[in-house]
Amino acid sequence: MLTVKNLNKNFGDYTAVENLSFEIQDGTIMGLIGQNGAGKTTTFRLILDFLTPDKGEILWNGKKIDSKDYDVIGYLPEERGLYPKVTIEDQLLYFAELRGKKRKDIVPEIDKWMEKFEVKGKKTDKVKSLSKGNQQKVQLIATLIHEPKLVILDEPFSGLDPVNAELLKNGIIELKQKGACVIFSSHNMDNVEKICDHLIMLKNGTTVLNGKVREIRASFGRSKLFLESSLTKSEVQAITGVNDVVIQEDKSLAITLSDPEVGKEIFMRATQNGYIPMFNQQPPTLEEIFKWKAGAGHE
């Protein structure tokens, strides 16, 4: 279990992280989101002891992290770093040995990991011969091959196509099933929403969202409504409490409400003649919430 308590980090007059607290239980995935410069990478570097906090503490299983604990941590930095002229096999062996693993235990595992992440190439290939996506997968394997108990992934989905992103998602879920604590940052809210148990959003180093994804969405109310009926766009727009109406490609209406209770009136009007094909009222997406909290929309 990873515990972060009242973490603060300043660089001169600039506050990178302010009073950050969270806990990640074993077998739990936490997403850390925020705009560039929000404090995500600084948080990771503080956990890894690359930076020293000005205030607060970081605990692993109730104790301060010591040098031995770093052998059970896997870290994938946002800026990838592999040795281009070294073979895949030698590279993976090197990183595993740095984490205290024995060569004889890792050699049989390399083929399994390459198959799991569908790396296109042989383990005797030099890294520079691989595509960017396959290089990224090799670095991910280097992060995981020593079977860490705490996994920190900084923008792991960056640059991955949908197929490889799905492989990575499955890999993260597998880590959870094996009992690891996983924390990752991402700008892809769809990935965060699908696999995270818990979510923290930072803005200028300060926590603006902290909780379970479903609970965070629910706290904003069911302000999104999708409707397919005989009601026209202008008729719906005329209803008090409707902020916006967009006609979608399938001719249904995507409606944004200022008050979720207005959904009841829309439902009554839409069904006054009986059956309608669709009425779906739900909370805003995590993507919409992110934009609001980041300042791109209303607060």
CB 278 within 8 A of CB 228: yes
Q: pLDDT tens for residues 4-42?
A: 999 999 999 999 999 999 999 999 999 999 998 899 999
pLDDT tens sequence across 191-211 = 888 899 999 999 999 999 999
Q: What is the CA radius of gyration of the chain?
A: 23
How many CB atoms sit inside 10 A of residue 133's CB? Answer: 17
Angstrom distance (rounded) from CA 12 to CA 118? 45
Q: Which two tokens stand for residue 202?
A: 């930072």
Q: How far is CA 12 from CA 37, 43, 45, 60, 140, in A?
A: 15, 17, 17, 29, 34
Confirm if 127 and 88 have CB atoms less than 8 A apart.
yes
Q: Please tell me what DSSP assigns to residue 120.
A: S
Task: Tell me the C-alpha distance between 66 and 43, whole Å.
Answer: 17
Amino acid 277: pLDDT: 95
Q: How confident is the model over 159-179, as pLDDT tens digits?
A: 788 888 888 888 889 889 999
- Residue 105 sits at φ, ψ, to 5 deg, of -85, -25
Q: Are 227 and 242 in contact (CB under 8 A)?
A: no
Positive/negative CA dihedral, 141, 29, 149, 70: positive
Q: If residue 261 lies in a helix (H) or strand (E), which one and from where to where?
A: none
Coil, helix or strand for 263?
helix
Q: What is the pLDDT of residues 238-265, one digit of tens each?
A: 999 999 999 999 999 999 999 999 999 9
Which pLDDT score is estimated for 250? 93
What are residue 258's phi and psi, to 5 degrees? -80, -25
273 token code pair: 């003649």
- Cβ 44 vs Cβ 184: under 8 Å: no
Mean pLDDT of the residues in the chain: 91
Torsion of CA 127, 47, 181, 88, to 10 degrees: 10
**What pLDDT is recorded for position 297?**
45
The mean pLDDT value for 272-282 works out to 94
The pLDDT confidence band at residue 69, using thresholds 50, 70 and 90, is: confident
What number is the average pLDDT over the span 95-103?
A: 89
Backbone angles phi, psi at 213, to 5 degrees: -55, -45
48 sits in which H/E element = none
Check residue 299 and give its pLDDT: 40
Q: Which residues contact 98 (CB under 8 A, 6 or more apart)?
A: none
Q: Which residue has the tokens 């870290």?
A: 75
Domains of the chain with CATH codes: 2-217 (3.40.50.300), 221-282 (3.30.70)
User: Where are the strands (E) in 148-277, listed by range?
Assistant: 150-154, 181-185, 198-203, 206-211, 224-228, 242-247, 253-257
